[in-house]
Amino acid sequence: MKTSRICGVVLGLAAMAFMGSGRMLAQQTKKNSDAQDLSAVKSALQQMSGQMDVPEVPEGQRATRAQIDKLFEVMRLREQTAKVVDMASTAMRAGIQQGIEQKKRENPNAAQMTPAQQQQLEAVFSDYMKKMIDVVYSDDVMGPLKASYQRYLSTEDVDGIIAFYQSPAGQHLLDKQVKIQLEGAPAMMEALQNKLKGLIEDMQKQIAVLDLPADKQTPAKKTAVTNK
């Protein structure tokens, strides 16, 4: 079912946002680099989307915003987002810890955190986690995704999908979905990497025999040496 990818998209947003925050804490000097990376990813996604010939649903037949909101609700996307943020919180804690260790290296005489300070830090961290969930699930972030679903799904489509997710089978899938995705992802990534390595090597061999013109290096000018 194509719409099962909604959850993957949302969970991916949550994980990227949370882990990205951890990197920002550890590497606050990479703002320009991060912006360039984001621009490159957006450009690549837009290009891939433009290459897919998927017809839009006529406006009069499109799912309403209320239907899409209901769809996201029955798919428990906020709950699933919270789970991913909670699991990805180790990245944030690692980022904070790296920052503390860096300060210690810069100032070896710095005092250790007291239990009270550690508790205060955890309170700030917990508050940030809650706010992160709100941000990921906010209309500013989710609005564009919902609008895309409206363009490509009809009212009949969404009613049928909602009915599935409200069924026992749909609820059972939602109970296990995060676990299934997290458990299967590492093995899939490893298998994909191994398969692509062989494909890339074969492609490089085929390109090598094409004898394509190579960039020619301009020979360096020799400076005449005059013997005096």
Q: Give the pLDDT confidence of 116-168 residue by residue, as tens digits.
A: 887 887 788 778 778 888 888 888 988 999 999 999 999 999 999 999 999 99
Say if pTM beats, i.e. exceeds, 0.75. Answer: no
Q: Which residues contact 81 (CB under 8 A, 6 or more apart)?
A: 10, 11, 13, 14, 133, 136, 137
Higher-pLDDT residue of 224, 169: 169
Residues 6+ apart with CB under 8 A from 204: none
Token pair in block for residue 168: 């026992």
- The encoded tokens of residue 128 equal 């940030």
Contact indicator for 91, 18 with CB cutoff of 8 Å: yes
- How many helices (H) and strands (E) are present in the chain, helices listed first? 8, 0
What integer pLDDT is reported at residue 7 of this predicted model? 55
- What is the arithmetic mean of pLDDT over 82-88? 74
Given pLDDT bands bounded at 50, 70 and 90, which one contains residue 36? confident
214, pLDDT greater than 80? no
Can you tell me the distance from the alpha carbon of 128 to that of 39, in angstroms, rounded to the nearest whole number?
A: 26
Residue 170 clears pLDDT 90, i.e. is over it: yes
**CA–CA separation, 169 and 1 (whole Å):** 13
Instruction: Report the greatest alpha carbon distance in the chain.
Output: 97
